[in-house]
Structures are given as structure tokens and as C-alpha cells.
Amino acid sequence: MKIVLTDAQTVLDNLVNADILKQFGEVEEYGLLRYDEVAEKIADADMVVCNKTLLDKNTLRLAKNLKYIGLFATGYNNIDIDYCKAHNIAVCNAGSYSTNAVAQHTFALILEHFNNTAKYNEYVQDGRWKRSKTFSPFVYPLSELAGKTLGIVGFGNIGKAVAKIANAFEMRVIAFNRSEKQADGVEFVSFDTLLRESDIVSVHCPLNSESQDMFDKNAFAKMKKGALFVNTARGGVMVEQDLFDALQSEHLCGAAIDTLRVEPMEEDCILMGAKNCIMTPHIAWAPVETRVRLMNIVADNIRAFLNGTPQNRIV
């Protein structure tokens, strides 16, 4: 059995490795194959495991022995599902591995906005506290989360975890979900009501035809003046120019973003340097424990497939 990893560096490093997959056969790792390299490198593979590598009819055309594609991810929009169906190639994804990590990062972003921890650390490290006339210099504003309204868009596993944390902070939690949901401590409302009443809007829905560009200039205009926008879902749910305009006009007090439409960030990304915009490079899902859990799920998927009882199967 030959297993080829096409973009290993998007998951693995010196702390997390692919040794768990060696029980199934020969593992060939590539850090990050270019599109034009993929077809040749997977030509003799029995299995391919990838994160974001585009596996379409062109890159799959030489892989005559390919029986299985495993994903280091929940999303599978990079896989040509129709081609895989036609050629009897199983596709299995990895779901629910990063729920706690993304919920944690969501609040790391929210707390950074309201507590200005990095700015205060810089203030101290620059020696300015030593020169302060008071023991508590009020250089940057601080604000409590208790009593604020958090609006959650998309109430899957991550949305639920975020709500649980918000409840612990004694926040009011409202949520919008396409399908009907119920949860203790959460009030489900319409999308417009959520935009109108939330002090913080946090996005946790998948990217699809319904959510594409749902946060545009009209949505931002409906948000409460001075609200915070948080996106740890997918960059495609927001129109970056419209978010930039809402920040520059100070209609929104800030944004905290972990995902962009094009990643890595483009040189001319409009949000670079935007007013009151905190950005991290799509790392909400990436704690060491989370990636180890992901590798275990990927291995379990392969084992189940080989045993004739496939799990997490898309095709």
C-alpha cells in the first residue's frame, strides 16, 4: 500500500508527524506540491491524503491504482467528487477535530479586542510603565464581556462550544442557523435581528452558496454601531472591501479575522492595515493537540476503509 501526502506541511511539523500512517504501508510525504506536480507524484499511489491540494480530473488522471482519498480537513471542495464517483475512489473527511480549538481562538480574538493585552504588554516592555505617574495607567480602553450580546451565525459544534464559553462569561447569547436548533442559554433569532442586537457577531457557518458573501455592505450596515465582527469560519463569507469600509467609517468598532478569501494573504489585501482589525493566519484549528487528534481521525478513517466499514465517507 502506497500512501502519498501531497501537502504535509499544512498539518505536520517537528511536533506532529505522520508515523501513525506507516502501519498501513509506505508513506511518501511532500511538503507542498505545486498543482503541476501533483499528477506525477501520485501516479502510483493507492491512497492520497491531503488538506487543500486540488484533486481534479487533471491531477488524478494518472492515478490508476487510487482507491482512497483522505482529507486532513472537514471541507472537501478541493476534491472533484464527480470524478471520484465515476472512478470508484472513496473520499473520507475528518470532522469535529477542531471544535474546542476554534472556540478557544474565537475568544482569544474577542478578549484581545476588549482587553488590549498585546498593547499593554508592549507598553510595559517599552518601559512606559516605569515612567507612569500611576500604578494603573489607563492607556487603552478595557471592557467587560458580561452583559454584552454575542450573536453566533451557524450553530454547529463550534457554534455550540462558543455559546458555552459565552454563557460562562455571563453574556447574552443569540444565534442564527439555517435549520431549526435549540440550546439552553441561547435564543434563536432571525439573521436581521442578530445583526441589529449583537455587540459581537461571530461567524461559524460553512462556506456554501447560501453563506458566500453573506456579510456584505448591507449586512455590516445592519449591525449595531460600534459592534465587533469576528470570523474564524471561512473568508468567503465576507466581502473584504465592505468590511474595510465599515471599519474605516467606524460603523464597526473592530474586526477579528482568522480567515481570508485568498490564503496565504495576497500582497494587496485590502484588510492589511485596516483600522482596528486583528488578524491571525488561519491558525484557529492548529494547536498541537488538535493536529494530533486530526492524525488519529485520518488513521481511523483509513483503518475503517481497509476493514470494509468506511466512516466519514463523502463518496
Grid coordinates of 159? 457554534
Q: Quick one: three-class SS letters along the chain?
A: CEEEECCHHHCCCCCCCCHHHHHHCEEEECCCCCHHHHHHHCCCCCEEEECCCCECCCCCCCCCCCCEEEECCCCCCCECHHHHHHCCCEEECCCCCCHHHHHHHHHHHHHHHHHCHHHHHHHHHCCCCCCCCCCCCCCCCCCCCCCCEEEEECCCHHHHHHHHHHHHCCCEEEEECCCCCCCCCCEECCHHHHHHHCCEEEECCCCCCCCCCCECHHHHHHCCCCEEEEECCCHHHECHHHHHHHHHCCCEEEEEECCCCCCCCCCCCCCCCCCCEEECCCCCCCCHHHHHHHHHHHHHHHHHHHCCCCCCECC
Q: Could you tell me the CA-to-CA distances from 192 to 186, 201, 221, 273, 310 in Å, in that order?
A: 17, 12, 11, 29, 41
Catalytic residues: 234, 263, 282
Grid coordinates of 6? 501531497
